[in-house]
Protein backbone atom coordinates (compact mmCIF):
# COMPACT_ATOMS: atom_id res chain seq x y z
CA UNK A 1 0.00 0.00 0.00
CA UNK A 2 1.27 3.47 -0.93
CA UNK A 3 -0.02 6.62 0.82
CA UNK A 4 1.51 10.03 0.13
CA UNK A 5 4.59 8.29 -1.31
CA UNK A 6 5.01 6.20 1.85
CA UNK A 7 5.00 2.39 1.66
CA UNK A 8 2.94 0.52 4.25
CA UNK A 9 3.91 -3.13 4.47
CA UNK A 10 1.28 -5.83 4.11
CA UNK A 11 1.87 -7.24 7.59
CA UNK A 12 0.48 -7.14 11.10
CA UNK A 13 1.51 -6.34 14.64
CA UNK A 14 1.09 -9.28 16.98
CA UNK A 15 -0.07 -8.58 20.53
CA UNK A 16 -0.84 -10.75 23.54
CA UNK A 17 -3.10 -10.85 26.62
CA UNK A 18 -2.04 -8.94 29.73
CA UNK A 19 -3.54 -7.77 33.02
CA UNK A 20 -3.89 -4.06 33.73
CA UNK A 21 -5.03 -1.46 36.19
CA UNK A 22 -5.37 2.31 36.24
CA UNK A 23 -4.29 4.37 39.25
CA UNK A 24 -5.15 8.00 39.91
CA UNK A 25 -2.44 9.91 41.76
CA UNK A 26 -3.44 13.31 43.14
CA UNK A 27 -1.44 15.93 45.01
CA UNK A 28 -1.47 19.46 46.38
CA UNK A 29 -0.49 20.65 42.91
CA UNK A 30 0.22 19.11 39.52
CA UNK A 31 3.99 19.30 39.96
CA UNK A 32 3.98 16.79 42.81
CA UNK A 33 1.42 14.55 41.15
CA UNK A 34 3.74 14.40 38.13
CA UNK A 35 6.75 13.62 40.32
CA UNK A 36 4.93 10.69 41.91
CA UNK A 37 3.59 9.40 38.60
CA UNK A 38 7.02 9.59 36.96
CA UNK A 39 8.60 7.63 39.80
CA UNK A 40 5.73 5.13 39.89
CA UNK A 41 6.10 4.35 36.19
CA UNK A 42 9.91 4.29 36.18
CA UNK A 43 11.84 1.18 35.07
CA UNK A 44 8.66 -0.23 33.49
CA UNK A 45 9.40 -0.44 29.78
CA UNK A 46 9.12 -4.19 29.26
CA UNK A 47 7.94 -7.23 31.19
CA UNK A 48 11.05 -8.99 29.89
CA UNK A 49 13.01 -7.54 32.82
CA UNK A 50 10.93 -4.90 34.59
CA UNK A 51 8.02 -6.95 35.94
CA UNK A 52 5.48 -4.60 34.42
CA UNK A 53 4.97 -2.07 31.67
CA UNK A 54 3.66 1.28 32.88
CA UNK A 55 3.23 4.84 31.74
CA UNK A 56 1.40 8.09 32.28
CA UNK A 57 -1.92 8.06 30.46
CA UNK A 58 -3.12 11.63 31.03
CA UNK A 59 -3.39 14.50 33.48
CA UNK A 60 -6.56 14.96 35.53
CA UNK A 61 -8.19 18.31 36.20
CA UNK A 62 -9.37 19.01 39.77
CA UNK A 63 -13.00 18.89 38.59
CA UNK A 64 -12.50 15.28 37.45
CA UNK A 65 -10.36 14.18 40.39
CA UNK A 66 -11.55 11.91 43.24
CA UNK A 67 -10.55 14.48 45.87
CA UNK A 68 -10.83 17.76 43.96
CA UNK A 69 -7.08 18.11 43.50
CA UNK A 70 -5.01 17.93 40.30
CA UNK A 71 -3.71 14.50 39.40
CA UNK A 72 -2.25 12.08 36.91
CA UNK A 73 -3.67 8.80 35.62
CA UNK A 74 -1.22 5.94 35.10
CA UNK A 75 -1.72 2.52 33.55
CA UNK A 76 0.21 -0.56 34.63
CA UNK A 77 0.33 -3.84 32.68
CA UNK A 78 1.77 -7.24 33.56
CA UNK A 79 1.58 -10.82 32.34
CA UNK A 80 -0.20 -12.13 35.44
CA UNK A 81 -2.49 -10.83 38.13
CA UNK A 82 -0.08 -11.93 40.82
CA UNK A 83 2.81 -9.97 39.32
CA UNK A 84 0.64 -6.92 38.69
CA UNK A 85 -0.51 -6.89 42.33
CA UNK A 86 3.11 -7.11 43.49
CA UNK A 87 4.21 -4.28 41.21
CA UNK A 88 1.32 -2.01 42.26
CA UNK A 89 2.00 -2.45 45.96
CA UNK A 90 5.77 -1.98 45.68
CA UNK A 91 5.61 0.99 43.36
CA UNK A 92 2.88 2.82 45.25
CA UNK A 93 4.63 2.16 48.55
CA UNK A 94 8.01 3.39 47.35
CA UNK A 95 6.99 6.12 44.90
CA UNK A 96 3.61 7.56 45.95
CA UNK A 97 3.48 7.08 49.72
CA UNK A 98 6.91 8.74 49.84
CA UNK A 99 6.00 11.73 47.65
CA UNK A 100 4.82 14.91 49.42
CA UNK A 101 1.04 15.60 49.55
CA UNK A 102 0.00 12.68 47.34
CA UNK A 103 -2.99 10.35 47.51
CA UNK A 104 -3.86 7.38 45.30
CA UNK A 105 -7.17 5.96 44.09
CA UNK A 106 -8.45 3.22 41.80
CA UNK A 107 -9.00 4.45 38.28
CA UNK A 108 -11.23 1.57 37.15
CA UNK A 109 -14.67 0.98 38.62
CA UNK A 110 -15.04 -2.69 37.71
CA UNK A 111 -12.71 -5.68 37.67
CA UNK A 112 -10.99 -8.11 39.98
CA UNK A 113 -9.87 -6.41 43.20
CA UNK A 114 -6.15 -6.36 44.00
CA UNK A 115 -4.52 -4.59 46.98
CA UNK A 116 -3.72 -0.90 46.73
CA UNK A 117 -3.64 0.51 50.25
CA UNK A 118 -4.77 -2.72 51.90
CA UNK A 119 -1.28 -3.63 53.09
CA UNK A 120 0.40 -0.24 52.80
CA UNK A 121 -1.78 0.93 55.68
CA UNK A 122 0.46 -0.98 58.09
CA UNK A 123 3.08 1.71 57.57
CA UNK A 124 0.84 3.70 59.93
CA UNK A 125 2.03 1.45 62.78
CA UNK A 126 -1.44 1.22 64.31
CA UNK A 127 -2.34 4.89 63.84
CA UNK A 128 -3.98 4.34 60.43
CA UNK A 129 -7.73 4.95 60.18
CA UNK A 130 -10.24 3.31 57.83
CA UNK A 131 -13.00 5.35 56.19
CA UNK A 132 -15.97 3.95 54.24
CA UNK A 133 -17.50 6.23 51.60
CA UNK A 134 -20.29 4.93 49.35
CA UNK A 135 -19.26 1.37 50.13
CA UNK A 136 -15.59 1.93 49.25
CA UNK A 137 -12.91 1.61 51.92
CA UNK A 138 -10.11 4.16 52.14
CA UNK A 139 -7.16 4.37 54.50
CA UNK A 140 -5.71 7.46 56.15
CA UNK A 141 -2.08 6.87 57.08
CA UNK A 142 -0.25 9.49 59.19
CA UNK A 143 2.91 10.83 57.58
CA UNK A 144 5.14 13.80 58.29
CA UNK A 145 3.32 16.28 56.02
CA UNK A 146 -0.15 15.25 57.20
CA UNK A 147 -1.70 12.01 55.98
CA UNK A 148 -1.50 9.67 53.02
CA UNK A 149 -4.96 8.74 51.68
CA UNK A 150 -5.26 5.57 49.63
CA UNK A 151 -8.11 3.43 48.40
CA UNK A 152 -7.96 -0.10 49.81
CA UNK A 153 -8.08 -1.90 46.45
CA UNK A 154 -7.91 -1.19 42.75
CA UNK A 155 -9.56 -3.08 39.89
CA UNK A 156 -7.62 -5.36 37.57
CA UNK A 157 -8.89 -6.13 34.07
CA UNK A 158 -7.86 -8.15 31.04
CA UNK A 159 -5.82 -6.07 28.60
CA UNK A 160 -3.71 -6.18 25.45
CA UNK A 161 0.03 -5.61 25.18
CA UNK A 162 2.49 -5.50 22.33
CA UNK A 163 0.80 -3.53 19.58
CA UNK A 164 3.57 -1.92 17.57
CA UNK A 165 4.67 0.15 14.61
CA UNK A 166 8.09 0.07 12.93
CA UNK A 167 9.24 3.26 11.21
CA UNK A 168 11.91 2.77 8.55
CA UNK A 169 13.62 6.03 7.64
CA UNK A 170 16.43 7.44 5.53
CA UNK A 171 18.31 8.82 8.53
CA UNK A 172 18.16 9.38 12.29
CA UNK A 173 16.65 12.88 12.07
CA UNK A 174 13.80 11.64 9.88
CA UNK A 175 13.14 8.61 12.10
CA UNK A 176 13.05 10.68 15.29
CA UNK A 177 10.76 13.30 13.78
CA UNK A 178 8.39 10.62 12.50
CA UNK A 179 8.35 8.79 15.82
CA UNK A 180 7.69 11.99 17.76
CA UNK A 181 4.78 12.87 15.48
CA UNK A 182 3.25 9.41 15.81
CA UNK A 183 3.64 9.38 19.61
CA UNK A 184 1.99 12.80 19.88
CA UNK A 185 -0.99 11.57 17.85
CA UNK A 186 -1.34 8.35 19.83
CA UNK A 187 -1.15 10.11 23.19
CA UNK A 188 -4.49 11.70 22.35
CA UNK A 189 -6.08 8.23 22.35
CA UNK A 190 -7.48 7.17 25.77
CA UNK A 191 -6.78 3.90 27.57
CA UNK A 192 -3.31 3.30 26.11
CA UNK A 193 0.32 3.84 27.01
CA UNK A 194 3.60 3.61 25.13
CA UNK A 195 5.93 2.36 27.87
CA UNK A 196 9.37 2.99 26.38
CA UNK A 197 11.32 6.26 26.87
CA UNK A 198 9.47 9.01 25.03
CA UNK A 199 7.19 6.27 23.71
CA UNK A 200 9.92 4.97 21.39
CA UNK A 201 12.29 1.98 21.42
CA UNK A 202 15.37 1.46 19.26
CA UNK A 203 16.24 -2.01 20.56
CA UNK A 204 13.42 -3.96 18.94
CA UNK A 205 13.74 -7.65 19.75
CA UNK A 206 13.00 -11.08 18.40
CA UNK A 207 12.10 -14.13 20.49
CA UNK A 208 15.11 -16.27 21.45
CA UNK A 209 18.85 -15.88 21.02
CA UNK A 210 22.07 -17.77 20.33
CA UNK A 211 23.04 -17.49 23.99
CA UNK A 212 21.56 -19.66 26.73
CA UNK A 213 19.32 -17.83 29.15
CA UNK A 214 18.47 -15.02 26.74
CA UNK A 215 14.73 -14.89 26.07
CA UNK A 216 15.01 -12.09 23.51
CA UNK A 217 17.72 -10.61 21.33
CA UNK A 218 18.21 -7.88 18.75
CA UNK A 219 15.80 -7.85 15.82
CA UNK A 220 18.60 -8.32 13.28
CA UNK A 221 16.22 -8.26 10.31
CA UNK A 222 15.64 -4.56 11.01
CA UNK A 223 19.19 -3.52 11.99
CA UNK A 224 20.69 -1.27 9.25
CA UNK A 225 24.26 -2.20 10.20
CA UNK A 226 23.44 -5.86 9.48
CA UNK A 227 21.59 -5.33 6.19
CA UNK A 228 24.37 -6.89 4.14
CA UNK A 229 25.11 -9.66 6.61
CA UNK A 230 21.72 -11.12 7.57
CA UNK A 231 20.02 -13.34 5.02
CA UNK A 232 16.57 -12.34 6.27
CA UNK A 233 17.17 -8.59 6.35
CA UNK A 234 14.02 -6.54 5.79
CA UNK A 235 15.94 -3.40 4.83
CA UNK A 236 17.01 -1.92 1.55
CA UNK A 237 19.87 0.54 0.99
CA UNK A 238 17.58 3.56 1.51
CA UNK A 239 16.88 2.68 5.16
CA UNK A 240 19.51 3.80 7.65
CA UNK A 241 17.46 4.04 10.85
CA UNK A 242 14.54 2.05 12.28
CA UNK A 243 12.53 2.97 15.38
CA UNK A 244 9.61 1.19 17.01
CA UNK A 245 6.60 2.27 19.05
CA UNK A 246 5.03 -0.32 21.37
CA UNK A 247 1.45 0.16 22.53
CA UNK A 248 -0.39 -1.39 25.49
CA UNK A 249 -4.13 -0.83 25.87
CA UNK A 250 -7.05 -1.77 28.05
CA UNK A 251 -8.83 -3.36 25.07
CA UNK A 252 -8.06 -4.59 21.57
CA UNK A 253 -10.07 -1.65 20.21
CA UNK A 254 -7.94 0.82 22.19
CA UNK A 255 -4.69 -0.54 20.72
CA UNK A 256 -6.19 -0.48 17.22
CA UNK A 257 -7.31 3.14 17.67
CA UNK A 258 -3.83 4.17 18.78
CA UNK A 259 -2.13 2.39 15.88
CA UNK A 260 -4.63 3.92 13.47
CA UNK A 261 -3.81 7.39 14.80
CA UNK A 262 -0.10 6.73 14.54
CA UNK A 263 -0.30 5.49 10.96
CA UNK A 264 -2.43 8.50 9.98
CA UNK A 265 0.12 10.88 11.49
CA UNK A 266 2.98 9.20 9.65
CA UNK A 267 1.10 9.02 6.36
CA UNK A 268 0.22 12.68 6.67
CA UNK A 269 3.92 13.55 6.78
CA UNK A 270 4.57 11.40 3.73
CA UNK A 271 7.77 10.17 2.14
CA UNK A 272 9.01 13.73 1.64
CA UNK A 273 9.71 13.88 5.40
CA UNK A 274 12.26 11.08 5.11
CA UNK A 275 10.19 8.09 6.14
CA UNK A 276 10.49 5.17 3.70
CA UNK A 277 8.17 2.48 5.09
CA UNK A 278 5.85 1.60 7.95
CA UNK A 279 5.99 -1.98 9.13
CA UNK A 280 5.24 -4.01 12.25
CA UNK A 281 6.69 -6.82 14.31
CA UNK A 282 5.10 -10.24 14.52
CA UNK A 283 6.06 -13.84 15.07
CA UNK A 284 3.93 -15.46 12.40
CA UNK A 285 0.87 -15.37 14.65
CA UNK A 286 2.41 -17.78 17.16
CA UNK A 287 2.97 -15.37 20.05
CA UNK A 288 -0.38 -13.69 20.63
CA UNK A 289 -4.00 -13.86 19.49
CA UNK A 290 -4.37 -10.15 18.69
CA UNK A 291 -3.34 -9.26 15.13
CA UNK A 292 -3.42 -5.64 13.96
CA UNK A 293 -3.18 -5.55 10.17
CA UNK A 294 -1.57 -2.35 8.90
CA UNK A 295 -3.43 -2.13 5.59
CA UNK A 296 -6.78 -2.45 7.36
CA UNK A 297 -5.88 0.20 9.92
CA UNK A 298 -4.51 2.55 7.25
CA UNK A 299 -7.67 2.20 5.16
CA UNK A 300 -9.84 2.93 8.20
CA UNK A 301 -7.74 5.99 8.95
CA UNK A 302 -8.14 7.32 5.41
CA UNK A 303 -11.95 6.94 5.59
CA UNK A 304 -11.99 8.76 8.92
- Determine the pLDDT at residue 303: 64
Residues 247, 133 within the same domain: no
106 and 222 within one domain: no
104 close to 23: Cβ distance less than 8 angstroms: yes
Do 79 and 10 share a domain, yes or no? no
Question: Are residues 141 and 166 both part of a single domain?
Answer: no
What pLDDT is stored for residue 139 in this prediction?
98
Lowest mean pLDDT, pick from 127-131, 188-192, 207-211, 261-265: 207-211
Out of 157, 182, 198, a domain closes at: 157
Q: What is the pLDDT of residue 86?
A: 98
Give the confidence band of 302 by pLDDT, cuts at 50, 70, 90: low
Secondary structure class of 300 (helix, strand, coil): helix
Question: Which residues in 114-147 are b (16+ Cβ under 10 Å) and which e?
Answer: bbbbbebbebbeeebeeeeeeeeebbbbeeeeee
Mean pLDDT rounded to a whole number for the chain: 96
pTM: 0.95
- Pairing type for strands 153-169 and 112-115 reads antiparallel
Q: What is the pLDDT of residues 144-192, one digit of tens each?
A: 999 999 999 999 999 999 999 999 999 999 999 999 999 999 999 999 9
> 116 and 174, same structural domain?
no
Instruction: Name the 3-class secondary structure at 301.
Output: helix
Same domain, 165 and 299: yes
139 and 223, same domain (yes or no): no
| CATH code for the domain of 102 | 3.30.70.520
Domain boundary among the residues 132, 157, 182 is at 157
Specify the pLDDT at position 247. 98
C-alpha distances (whole Å) from 59 to each of 12, 27, 71, 83, 270 are 31, 12, 6, 26, 31
Mean pLDDT, range 188-207, rounded to an integer: 95
> What is the per-residue pLDDT for 286?
80
pLDDT confidence bin for 213, thresholds 50/70/90: confident
User: pLDDT tier at 216 (50, 70, 90 boundaries)?
Assistant: confident
Helix (H) or strand (E) holding 193: strand 192-193
- Judgement on whether residues 197 and 167 belong to the same structural domain of the protein: yes
- Residues 290 and 234 occupy one common structural domain: yes
What is the pLDDT confidence band of residue 215, given thresholds at 50, 70 and 90? confident
Q: Are residues 102 and 177 in the same domain?
A: no
Mean pLDDT of 195-216: 91
Number of domains in the chain: 2
What average pLDDT does the segment 202-208 reach? 89
Report, as an integer, the average pLDDT of 259-282: 96
For residue 92, the enclosing domain spans 18-157
What pLDDT score does 163 carry?
A: 97
Q: What is the DSSP letter of 284?
A: T
Task: Say if residue 249 is in the same domain as residue 288.
Answer: yes
Residues 78 and 184 in one domain: no
At which of 139, 157, 175 does a domain end?
A: 157
Amino acid sequence: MLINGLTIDDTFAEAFPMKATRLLVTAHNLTWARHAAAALTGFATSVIACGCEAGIEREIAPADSPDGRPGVAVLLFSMSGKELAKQVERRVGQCVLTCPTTAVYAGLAEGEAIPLGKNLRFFGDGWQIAKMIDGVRYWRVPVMDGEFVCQETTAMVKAVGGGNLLMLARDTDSALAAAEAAVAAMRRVPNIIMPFPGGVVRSGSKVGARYAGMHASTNDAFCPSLAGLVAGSQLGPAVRCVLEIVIDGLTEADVAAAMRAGIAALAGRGAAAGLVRISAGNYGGKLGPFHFHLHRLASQGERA
